[in-house]
Structure 1
Amino acid sequence: MTDKREYRMEELARLAGITVRTLRFYRERKLIPPPRREGRIAWYDDHHLARLRTITALLERGHTLTGIAELADALEHGRDVADLVGLDTPTEEEPVRLTPEELAARFEGEVTPENLAAAMELGYLGTDGDEIVHISRRLLDVSSALVREGIPLAEVLTAGKHVREHADALAEMFAELVLRHTGEDDLHRLRPLARSVVEAELSLALDRRLRKQG
């Protein structure tokens, strides 16, 4: 187990690629947490360094300091990843770990405090220290692809909320069917059948919608 590294203000600023004056300004704006005090000496750690690098990356992507402060506040009050993923529950989905700047790069110009809060409320995002965890690589890839096609992230998240409601109802119906005729141990084993039915029915529904349009 390695000891946590700590830095004086000058060293932290150098590692972060900023000036000491800028570091002081960020601290005054509460963009970074207060340092640990030892007498008159302020000690910073890797958490501060990661936050400073995130601030720099977000500024380069056009975010304002006010917007970054709001994003940081949303992350500080976000759901813990353990609550999000449910460590005791088996899942077929692959969680994805991202830094805040990687998330901003995925959704260029769309990572606002409102969208971040909506994604956390929906259960898509959780926090783990300085990292953000998305609950599903597939959902992350689809969401970012839709945004690249010009669909606002806020509308993608709203659609995701509606899909979640329908998916919960379908999962409940399938679980009741299985439990009525087999046992609880069979629910996990038979879940691929439920997924196949939903995928096939959605495909057929899209076929019907395309025929109407044509």
Structure 2
Amino acid sequence: MSNGDLAENLSVEQLASRVGMTVRTVRFYAGRGLIPAPRREGRHVFYGPDHIARLELVRELQAHGFTLAAIEGYLEKIPEDASPAQVALHRTLLAPWMPELPETLTRAQLVKRAGRELSDDDLDLLVALGIVEPTPTEDVFSVASAHLGVGVGLLEIGMPLEAAHEARRIFTDHGQQIAHDLTELFRTSVWPKMKESGQTEGATAIIERFKPLTIAALVTAYEQAVDEMKRETIRRRR
């Protein structure tokens, strides 16, 4: 029996071991519909590459702080008939584009890192900006440390809470659209060419090299748009 045959005929215990989860967790995700139903042969059920690919994607999303509801929403957008390779492509596209993994800090550690006292209102603003997220444990937070300095700066200039909520909505809406468009560009224009040439193993490297270019392009486009708005304002005043 080949390795391919083995991958097509995994028990739930073998599947759990393969993806680094417990059997209980795999069954929980199956019950939530995050993976398709297993193949049945009499009293036995078997899992295959499709289940492996989807559970590995779930694990990747979890590692980046996605909630269960967010994971379910993400997987709902992947067609049920997507091949394991297509599901794996989502992992390839996801990982290099995500920001650094969040840190878990107590309130005291967060205050020390911020370099100033943080009132409940201050924390509300940081949460609204998406820099700090509460956890189930009281006074313990998930923190995007790379952005904490920006958040503290906004606290110091007195940014209104309502404005922070609206700014996050704007960033999220436009960010999701850009991510969707770039993912589709890669899926339809780059990935097929890589498959034809047998170079799919280099997908992650290509995306990693493309990332800084994209960030620079977004910053430049934003700066140009702001400058154009300034020029338009001056023209109107004249």
TM range (shorter): 0.3 to 0.5
- Give the structure with the higher percent helix: 2
TM-score (normalised: structure 2): 0.42
